[in-house]
Amino acid sequence: MSMLQQIVKKKLKQVSSTELLSYSKEYNIALTKKQAKEISAYLKQTKLDPFNENDRMKMFKKLAKITDIQTAQKAQKIFHKLIKEYGVESWFD
């Protein structure tokens, strides 16, 4: 695993609900304070690897349970857009 992948994993573990709310506004995703807190808590405790496709799908399913299916689908589309924009598709299997 590259150092940058480790940094991404660490950031996911440390993302705050306030940051999530800020990102939700930036990417036009409806998110309540309660949902942001639940997502942040989940990311802090999960052992799932966002670079592994199966684990990533489990994470998006959990996001859908916390929010709703449309929000999870929108987040997934933004995720794919961002990894293409940054040219890091090869990091994700």
Q: Could you state, in order of their start, the residue ranges of all structural domains in the chain?
A: 3-91
pLDDT for 1: 64
Dist. CA 6–CA 89, nearest whole Å:
16
Tell me the average confidence (pLDDT) per consecutive run of 10 residues in the chain, 93 residues long.
Answer: 87 93 92 95 94 94 96 92 88 81
Q: What is the pTM of this model?
A: 0.86
